[in-house]
């Protein structure tokens, strides 16, 4: 069978950072993807047969594959236990996995370079552990639907139509590497669809392709060999699985089987999450809480933290992101980097990141020892944020202490769980997890869904493309104006802008939020079951308390609560150029910027008589949210063109 196909995917997901498009909503390094096939581009021949015929053809293809891979011998398999090797991104490791083919309960452990972890599914809960043994249980709809698909695929559940409900449909042939493969689309009950491609000559499964989600993953099955089970007979199974992200071989994660054993049922405890480890946080002597000032820049929280006892560096603090170290900062600190694995976020782009072992990270005297950071060149982040940050901190701290973020006073407080008391007057909102991200249930103008709570997003309310389409929100809001709303690891993020009616989260009502309806064709914008993302521009209306241990969010309105968000009124997406000027990365159509004649690729040299080298981008962005009609005199230069003066008059984009 192919449990290691799912293993490869889960290893990639667990070892890959929650790399946000930090200037837009956070996107996780997803284990799901869209349809691009690995290797050569695939072309599809449309299926024209009626639905009943398509279903019958699908059943015939699946049955032929089952017969080619062992036939009735599969029906006797109970527990599949497997060990093997992992390679990817210049790293090596090992894995061990178990799966019950009758229930699809499954679990695995892995090592890959400096990192390690485990994951499992016990029929109710999806769970993971990281290199520090911290346990995370995920029960959001998004997490469960993906886990069910993983277990279904890895357990070849489509061989057992009577055991596990699904719909199967023949969708025609798709070509790759000069071969036409018959393809079946399978949608397990409670999960997202995926494709299975069959070898037209041998009937063996050659690949599986996921059809929804953030970053595209396909699985190439190879090196089929005979497996003799003492109680079930002979099976023919792939001994190698290549997990390919975005069709790019440089990101391949390869699992190679070393041993497979078939056994009777495992105890149910095999698939249950392990107990949490002893809390490793080291607190200042005699203190139950630590208060830390922060700067709020571009609606992002910046704090000063020390790595390995060195002088403090500014770090972006994102409650849903795992530790990340800038490659340049790692070099200055003398910390080596290992590996190159795929990461992404909103937008379609995939970037490589590595790992860095850190002896300690300290934030206001609260220290975490022996951490494994992701490592990535954050030059693009620095250019957009106009902050030379050492990296990103978040989840590892919030997992170990209750966090209160007082946006109005620009301070945050970590409190030991035993000493924490719920804030008086605040509204409690329960949440689940999808990856490292807290997920709350809410309603936007009558449409129910799950929303990410994302301090790493600079925006207000982002609505995912599938959710917006299901509820016809573009038409409801008359959303026609498109703008760049983010730019990060996943590349540029585009959205249609609107002013929504009412967002309700538990007992909290938020009127007239700015809504960004994502227009990206890939990345986190395509999460099929997530409604949206609530970012810093909206969260700053509240004092926010997060208790990860009890999965509770408290929201208490502050002085900003009655002030509606104002979206940029210039139409400019700007970043710091290498020469110190301001680069115009994008210009929204029918905006103040287009009316002034500014174009993408221009550089801004001066603002109202000031040199832009003395202007911070985060301050200028606030100025560009000023009243409609506000005038800016700009000195602008096109590439290889003369300097010119333009007048930009702010106008509403929504």
Residue 524 has a pLDDT of: 57
3-state secondary structure of 560: coil
Average pLDDT over residues 70-75: 93
Position 245 confidence tier, pLDDT thresholds 50, 70, 90: confident
Domain ends where: 210, 238, 270?
Answer: 270
Residue 490 has a pLDDT of: 52
- The DSSP secondary-structure symbol of 612 reads G
Q: Is the pLDDT of residue 25 over 60?
A: no
Q: What is the CATH number of the domain that holds 588?
A: 2.30.42.10
Residue 494 has a pLDDT of: 87
Q: Is the pLDDT of residue 232 over 80?
A: no
Q: Is the pLDDT of residue 442 over 50?
A: yes
Burial level of 94, CB count in 10 A (0-12/13-18/19+)?
middle
594 and 467 part of one domain: no
Average pLDDT over residues 8-28: 35
Would residue 257 count as lying in a domain? yes
303 and 260 part of one domain: no
538 and 626 part of one domain: no
Higher pLDDT, 330 or 26: 330
* pLDDT-wise least confident of 48-52, 153-157, 225-229, 422-426: 48-52
Q: Nearest Cα to 401, choosing from 543, 275, 280?
A: 280
Residue 208 has a pLDDT of: 96
Q: What is the CATH number of the domain that holds 131?
A: 2.50.20.10
Q: Is the pLDDT of residue 4 over 50?
A: no
Give the number of other CB atoms < 10 A from CB of residue 470.
Answer: 13
Q: Is the pLDDT of residue 538 over 50?
A: yes
**The residue to which tokens 């949206």 are assigned:** 532
Would residue 511 count as lying in a domain? yes
**The residue to which tokens 């050569």 are assigned:** 40
Residue 37 has a pLDDT of: 30
Total domain count, the chain: 4
pLDDT per residue over 552-575, tens digit each?
999 999 988 888 789 999 999 999
Q: Is the pLDDT of residue 231 over 70?
A: no
Position 594 confidence tier, pLDDT thresholds 50, 70, 90: very high
Residue 48 has a pLDDT of: 46
Q: What is the spatial distance between Cα 177 and Cα 55, in angstroms, rounded to a whole number?
A: 27
Would residue 275 count as lying in a domain? no
Position 230 confidence tier, pLDDT thresholds 50, 70, 90: low
Q: Nearest Cα to 450, choosing from 469, 468, 431, 436?
A: 431
- Tokens at residue 401, please? 């202490």
92 and 223 part of one domain: yes
pLDDT per residue over 450-488, tens digit each?
999 999 999 999 999 999 999 999 999 999 999 988 865
Q: Is the pLDDT of residue 78 over 80?
A: yes
Residue 554 has a pLDDT of: 97
Would residue 407 count as lying in a domain? no
450 and 369 part of one domain: no
Position 217 confidence tier, pLDDT thresholds 50, 70, 90: confident
pLDDT per residue over 388-420, tens digit each?
999 999 999 999 999 999 999 999 999 999 999
pLDDT, mean over the chain: 88
Q: Is the pLDDT of residue 40 over 80?
A: no
Would residue 284 count as lying in a domain? no
* pLDDT-wise least confident of 12-16, 92-96, 541-545: 12-16
Position 387 confidence tier, pLDDT thresholds 50, 70, 90: very high
Q: DSSP strand E in 365-436: where?
A: 366-376, 391-394, 402-406, 411-415, 427-430, 432-434
* pLDDT-wise least confident of 44-58, 183-197, 252-266: 44-58
Position 251 confidence tier, pLDDT thresholds 50, 70, 90: confident
Which percentage of the chain shows pLDDT scores above 90? 75
Q: What is the CATH number of the domain that holds 428?
A: 2.40.70.10
Q: Is the pLDDT of residue 51 over 80?
A: no
Q: What angle do CA 19, 24, 25 make, to 5 degrees?
A: 65
Residue 563 has a pLDDT of: 81
pLDDT per residue over 116-130, tens digit each?
999 999 999 999 999
12 and 69 part of one domain: yes
Would residue 409 count as lying in a domain? no
3-state secondary structure of 126: strand
Residues β-bridged to residue 157 = none
Residue 17 has a pLDDT of: 33
Average pLDDT over residues 601-626: 96
Would residue 402 count as lying in a domain? no
The whole domain housing 522 covers: 417-557
Higher pLDDT, 27 or 153: 153
Would residue 278 count as lying in a domain? no
Q: Is the pLDDT of residue 361 over 90?
A: yes
Q: Is the pLDDT of residue 49 over 80?
A: no
Q: Is the pLDDT of residue 46 over 90?
A: no
Which percentage of the chain shows pLDDT scores above 70? 87
Q: What is the spatial distance between Cα 347 and Cα 328, in angstroms, rounded to a whole number?
A: 24
207 and 64 part of one domain: yes
Burial level of 283, CB count in 10 A (0-12/13-18/19+)?
middle
Residue 344 has a pLDDT of: 52
Residue 525 has a pLDDT of: 56
* pLDDT-wise least confident of 189-198, 293-302, 341-350, 398-407: 341-350
Q: What is the spatial distance between Cα 181 and Cα 493, in angstroms, rounded to a whole number?
A: 34
Q: Is the pLDDT of residue 228 over 80?
A: no
Domain ends where: 270, 298, 313?
Answer: 270
């Amino acid at each position: 069978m192919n449990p290691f196909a799912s293993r490869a995917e889960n290893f990639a997901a667990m070892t890959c950072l929650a790399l946000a498009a930090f200037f837009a909503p956070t996107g996780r390094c997803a284990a799901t993807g869209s349809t691009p096939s690995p290797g050569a581009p695939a072309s599809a021949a449309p299926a024209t047969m009626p639905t009943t015929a398509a279903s019958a053809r699908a059943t015939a293809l699946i049955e032929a594959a089952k017969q080619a891979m062992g036939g009735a011998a599969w029906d006797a398999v109970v527990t599949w236990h497997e060990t093997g090797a992992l390679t990817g991104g210049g790293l090596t490791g090992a894995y061990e996995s178990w799966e019950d083919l009758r229930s699809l309960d499954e679990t695995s452990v892995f090592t890959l370079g400096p990192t390690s972890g485990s994951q499992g599914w016990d029929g109710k809960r999806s769970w993971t552990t990281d290199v520090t043994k911290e346990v995370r249980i995920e029960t959001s709809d998004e997490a469960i639907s993906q886990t069910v698909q993983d277990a279904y695929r890895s357990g070849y559940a489509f061989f057992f139509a009577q055991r596990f409900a699904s719909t199967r449909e023949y969708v025609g042939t798709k070509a790759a590497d000069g071969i036409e493969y018959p393809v079946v689309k399978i949608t397990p009950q409670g999960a997202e669809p995926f494709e299975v491609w069959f070898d037209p000559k041998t009937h063996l499964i050659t690949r599986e392709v996921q059809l929804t989600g953030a970053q595209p993953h396909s699985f190439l099955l190879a090196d089929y060999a005979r497996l003799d089970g003492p109680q079930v007979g002979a099976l023919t199974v792939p001994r190698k699985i290549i997990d390919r992200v975005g069709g790019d071989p440089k990101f391949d994660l390869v699992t190679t089987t070393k041993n497979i054993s078939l056994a009777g049922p495992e105890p149910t405890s095999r698939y249950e999450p392990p107990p949490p480890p002893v809390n490793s946080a080291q607190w200042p002597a005699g203190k139950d809480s630590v208060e830390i000032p922060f700067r709020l820049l571009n609606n992002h929280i910046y704090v000063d933290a020390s790595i390995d006892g060195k002088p403090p560096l500014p770090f972006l603090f994102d409650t849903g992101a795992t530790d990340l170290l800038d490659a340049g900062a790692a070099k200055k600190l003398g910390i080596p980097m290992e590996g190159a694995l795929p990461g992404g976020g909103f937008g379609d782009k995939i970037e490589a990141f590595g790992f860095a072992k850190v002896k300690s990270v300290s934030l206001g005297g609260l220290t975490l020892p022996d951490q494994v950071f992701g490592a990535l060149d954050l030059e693009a982040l620095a250019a957009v944020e106009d902050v030379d940050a050492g990296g990103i901190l978040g989840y590892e701290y919030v997992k170990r202490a209750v966090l209160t973020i007082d946006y109005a006073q620009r301070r945050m407080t970590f409190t030991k769980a035993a000493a924490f008391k719920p804030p008086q007057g605040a509204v409690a909102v329960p949440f689940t997890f999808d990856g490292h991200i807290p997920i709350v249930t809410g309603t936007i103008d009558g449409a129910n869904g799950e929303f990410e709570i994302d301090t790493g997003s600079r925006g207000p309310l982002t609505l995912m493309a599938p959710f917006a389409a299901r509820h016809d929100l573009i038409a409801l809001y008359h959303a026609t104006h498109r703008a760049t709303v983010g730019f990060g690891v996943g590349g540029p993020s585009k959205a249609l802008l609107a002013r929504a009616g009412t967002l309700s989260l538990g007992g909290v009502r938020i009127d007239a939020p700015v809504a960004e309806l994502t227009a990206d064709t890939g990345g986190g914008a395509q999460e099929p079951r997530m409604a949206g993302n609530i970012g810093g521009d909206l969260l700053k209306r509240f004092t926010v308390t997060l208790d990860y241990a009890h999965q509770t969010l408290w929201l208490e309105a502050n002085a900003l609560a009655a002030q509606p968000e104002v979206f940029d009124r210039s139409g400019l997406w700007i970043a710091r150029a290498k020469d110190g000027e301001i680069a115009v990365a994008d210009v929204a159509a029918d905006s103040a910027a287009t009316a002034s004649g500014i174009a993408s690729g221009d550089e801004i040299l001066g603002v109202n008589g000031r040199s832009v080298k003395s202007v911070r981008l985060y301050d200028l962005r606030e100025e560009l949210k000023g009243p409609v009609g506000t005038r800016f005199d700009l000195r602008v230069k096109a590439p290889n063109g003369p300097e010119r003066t333009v007048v930009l008059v702010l106008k509403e984009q929504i």
